[in-house]
Amino acid sequence: MDLHTAGHRRGVVAAPHHAAVEAGRAALAEGGNALEAMVAMAATIAVVYPHMTQLGGDGFWLVREPSGRVRALMAAGRAGANARRELYRDYEMIPPRGALAALTVPGAVAGWMLALEAASAYGGRLRLGDLLAPAIAHAREGTIVTRSQARFTAEKLAELKDVPGFAPTFLLDGKPPDAGATLRQASRPRRQPGDARRPRTLPRHARRAALGRARCRPRVQLPAADAGLGVVDHSRAVRALARSAG
């Protein structure tokens, strides 16, 4: 895996895709701090490097404060309210695909919100819309398929081709794209909270969270059929936690 870096007088950022590095460097150039740059990079890489990281996952951060104290931000979604051992009695392992694989609630977005609360405490002042703007632009204008994305799409096609939304988003004419091809979203994304016309604040529930705990209701669409695990219900109260790591 290639690692791209970019420097600025306010710091250095690194990521496995140059577009994410550009988003992070831009955040620093606009006066943002490391946490704000990281959110911009995380959002961008979910668009341009989707086979490695996505909104449907979790997030774990190590943050070194100016005092030298290290905090861990843990954004791991809980298991569905109705997830029980009996549901998996006929399986040797949790299925990698399908409704029974959707065992936990995605926690990544809750982690971003907690990180931005921490960023604000250390003088962060960038708007959420500005941080997400590079990711939104890449989604609208199209992204270049990397070699690893082309390879993994072909390798996992049999498992993923029937997953709702996969084909129109990640295939070209129903086939895995070649490296260097351009993928565009099937339709124009709807305006989201925090877009450029929104105020320079986070949603109210995030402002109340402070550094200790963030409770949010991210608008992440989960599969309609979750095998009765209660994952969709749990998505209404995703929490990310901050703990001392040393």
Using DSSP, state whether 120 is helix, strand or coil. helix
In a domain, 152, yes or no: no
Q: What is the mean pLDDT of residues 40-63?
A: 92
Q: What is the pLDDT of residue 231?
A: 59
Please give the residue range of the domain that contains residue 34.
4-142+184-244
Q: Report the DSSP beta bridge partners of residue 242.
A: 73
- Give me the helix-helix angle, 128-141 and 18-29, nearest 10°: 150
Check whether 61 has a pLDDT greater than 80: yes
In a domain, 10, yes or no: yes
**Dist CA 22 CA 110 (whole Å):** 23
Counting residues of the chain whose pLDDT is more than 90, the rounded percentage is 48
pLDDT digits (tens, 9 = 90+) for 218-240: 444 444 444 556 555 555 567 78
173 in a domain, yes or no?
no
Is the pLDDT confidence value at 190 over 80? Answer: no
Q: How far apart are CA 63 and CA 48, in angstroms?
A: 25
Give the three-state DSSP class for 213. strand
The predicted pLDDT at position 243 comes to 84
pLDDT digits (tens, 9 = 90+) for 134-158: 999 999 999 999 999 999 999 999 9
Q: State which of 122-126, 193-197, 237-241 shows the largest mean pLDDT.
A: 122-126
For residue 143, the Cα-to-chain-centroid distance in whole angstroms is 17
């084909």: which residue's tokens? 167
How large is the average pLDDT for residues 15-21? 93
Q: Determine, yes or no, domain membership for 174.
A: no
Look up the pTM and report it: 0.77
Distances (CA, A) of 57 to 107, 109, 129, 172, 177: 6, 9, 21, 25, 24
Residue 156 placed within a domain: no
Is 159 within the bounds of a domain? no
Q: Name the domain count of the chain.
A: 1
Which two tokens mark 175? 């086939």
Task: Measure the CA–CA gap between 200 and 85, rounded to whole angstroms.
Answer: 45
User: Smallest Cα–Cα separation from 193: which of 101, 115, 127, 145?
Assistant: 127
Both tokens of 35, joined, read 């946490």
> Are 48 and 17 spatial neighbours (Cβ–Cβ below 8 Å)?
yes
Token pair in block for residue 202: 């986070």
Q: What is the mean pLDDT of residues 68-82?
A: 86
Residue 163 falls within a domain, yes or no? no
DSSP 3-state assignment of 13? Answer: strand
168 compared with 99, residue with greater pLDDT: 168
Is residue 121 a part of any domain in this protein? yes
CB neighbours of 56 closer than 8 A, spacing ≥ 6? 106, 108, 220
